[in-house]
Structure 1
Amino acid sequence: MTHEELATACAERMWSQDTASRDLGLSLDHVAPGHSVMSVTVSKSMTNGHGICHGGYIFTLADSAFAFACNTYNQITVAQQCAISFLAPAHLGDRLTATARERSRKGRSGLYDVTIENQDGDTIAEFRGNSRTTKGTILPD
């Protein structure tokens, strides 16, 4: 199995069990080793008291993209620490895309950056996540 095939198989397995991302309307658009792209359209139920997308939904989109990027090697990997900087508001009807990229992966630790943009290419937020590999695999041996 190639690295790309392994990444795809891991993503398919995770997606089949990721009720949270699916129920929130997130879409897994692309996956490759250390990389993923996910998207969602901001719905009315995702807006806050200011009429903009609640930051928790933006964080969730970024966190899910992070999870799919760092779980492309068939090793169960979880978030150790995450931070997000909100740079611009997202509005009702915006299509948000989160692109996760692996920056470093050494031993059990990884570092990933996720950029969230709207349909116009405006950067909405930047997310950085540190991952930690645990025992076990995503796919059966």
Structure 2
Amino acid sequence: MNQADLKEFFLKDRFAAHVGIELLDMAPGRAKAKLEIKDHHRNAVGVVHGAAIFSLADLVFAVASNSHGTVALGINVAISYMTSARDGTLLAEAEEVSINPKLATYLIRILDDDRNLIALFQGTVYRKGETLP
């Protein structure tokens, strides 16, 4: 699967689209996406909801881990929130840390407009050995 087909495949992610996540870039083992913060992304205390940040990180995790054309499904993730965000745009950048025929690990950084670190997300996938549909 070439990069254009892969991008088209992930544009079908209805949840990411509903949340407002925009896929910006991808390459083998890497992906970038952004989320423009809107009022509905805020929790009761006025900061961006952790689930919105997690969803942004999860999309680039999925794109980077499936970027080789092999079905990869998350088996473990962890996120650490460093500071809160209120306004502007969040950027998620995924990078492949380790890959073998069955498992791969990714590190995702979520940054604000000033490139301050908002959260770190680490995820591991199981690589099924099947090609993406």
**Among 6, 14, 21, which residue is 2:2 paired with?**
6
Residue 94 (structure 1) shift: 1.9
8 Å Cα contact 2:101/2:129 also seen in 1: no
TM-score (norm 2): 0.94
Separation in 1, partners of 2:102, 2:10: 20
Residue 84 (structure 1) shift: 0.3
Q: Which residue of 2 aligns with 1:49?
A: 44
8 Å Cα contact 1:7/1:74 also seen in 2: no
TM-score (norm 1): 0.89
Q: Which amino acid aligns with 1:74?
A: G
Q: Go from structure 1 to structure 2 and tell me whether the alpha carbon gap of 1:8 and 1:105 turns closer, same or farther (over 3 Å shift).
A: farther
Q: Secondary structure at the match of 1:104?
A: strand
Structure having the higher strand fraction is 2
8 Å Cα contact 1:78/1:132 also seen in 2: yes
> Number of residue pairs matched?
133
Separation in 1, partners of 2:107, 2:4: 20
Unpaired runs of 5+ residues, structure 2, are none
State the identity %: 28
Residue 11 (structure 1) shift: 2.6
8 Å Cα contact 1:10/1:73 also seen in 2: no
Q: Which amino acid aligns with 2:36?
A: T
Separation in 2, partners of 1:130, 1:8: 24
Unpaired runs of 5+ residues, structure 1, are none
Superposed CA deviations along residues 39-87 of structure 1, whole A, max 9, x for unmatched, are: 0011111111111001011011001110000111111111110000000
